[in-house]
Amino acid sequence: MSQIEELTKTFGSRTKGLEIFYLLNGLKQVVRHGFYDKELPEVEYFCKNNHLALEKSSFKILLTEKNGYSNKGIRIETDHPEGMFFVYIAKTKETAQQAKFFEERGLDLPLGLLLGYPRCCVDFFCQSFNENNTNLELKPNNIWTNTIQRNKDWVLISHFPCSSDCKESIYLAQQRWETIKREDSHLAQEMMKNLKPS
C-alpha cells in the first residue's frame, strides 16, 4: 500500500490524504480540513505518531448544502452533536496555531497565504466569495486548475484559482502531480484521466 493510500484511509478521503502527503513532502506548511467527532481520534493519533502539530477550531461548522461538496456552513458550539471541527495540521505548533487564529478572526487573506494559495487567488476569493456566491469554481479549461471533480475526490489544488490559466496555480498543481507520480504512478495517471476537461 502506498503512503497516499494509507493517508487516504486514515484521513477519510483522497483529497484530505493528499493534503497531508503534500505537508509531509514540504509542499505545504499547514493543512486545514473539517473532521467530525468520530473521525478525530484516528487523525489525532496519526499526528501524534508523526510529530505533527494539530489544533482544533473553537467552533464547529454545520454544512448548509447537502448535495456533495459544500463551501457553505454556519458556526455552531463545539458541544453540538452535529457539525465538524476545522483541524489545522502543521509541522510546528506555531504554524497550526497561526492558521487557527486567522480562521477564527475571519482573516481570509493571511489564512489563504499561510495555506499556500497564490496571492492572486486569495485576492480573487476575498473579493468574490460571499453568502450568495459560495462556489467559485471556474469552467474547467485546464487540467491543472480543474476543481470541478473535487466532489469525486479528483483535484490537485485545494483553492479556487483566479483563472483557469493562473500560472501560480498551474505551477502548484504540476509540482504536486510530480510528487504524486514519484509515490504512485498509477494514481498520477488516473488523476490526469479524471481531470482532463471534456
pLDDT, tens digit (0-9, with 9 covering 90-100), for 102-120: 999 999 999 999 999 999 9
CB atoms within 10 A of CB 193: 10
Considering the chain, what percentage of its residues have pLDDT values greater than 90?
72
Q: In angstroms, rounded to a whole number, what is the distance separating the alpha carbons of residues 180 and 194? A: 15
pLDDT tens figures, 31-84: 999 999 999 999 999 999 999 999 999 998 888 765 544 456 788 888 888 899
Return the residue matching grid coordinates 457553505: 72
Is a pLDDT exceeding 60 seen at residue 9? yes
pTM for the structure as a whole: 0.90
Lowest-confidence segment of 16-30, 116-130, 182-196 by average pLDDT: 116-130
Backbone angles phi, psi at 84, to 5 degrees: -125, 155
Q: What is the CA radius of gyration of the chain?
A: 16
Classify the phi-psi angles of 58: left when phi > 0, otherwise alpha if psi is within -120 to 50, otherwise beta.
alpha
Predicted pLDDT at 69: 47
Taking residues 171-177, report their average pLDDT: 98
Predicted pLDDT at 70: 47
3-state secondary structure of 16: helix
Backbone angles phi, psi at 47, to 5 degrees: -60, -45
At residue 22's C-alpha, the angle toward residues 18 and 24, to 5°, is: 110
pLDDT tens figures, 141-157: 889 999 888 889 999 99
Considering the chain, what percentage of its residues have pLDDT values greater than 70?
90
Taking residues 160-186, report their average pLDDT: 96
Is a pLDDT exceeding 50 seen at residue 182? yes
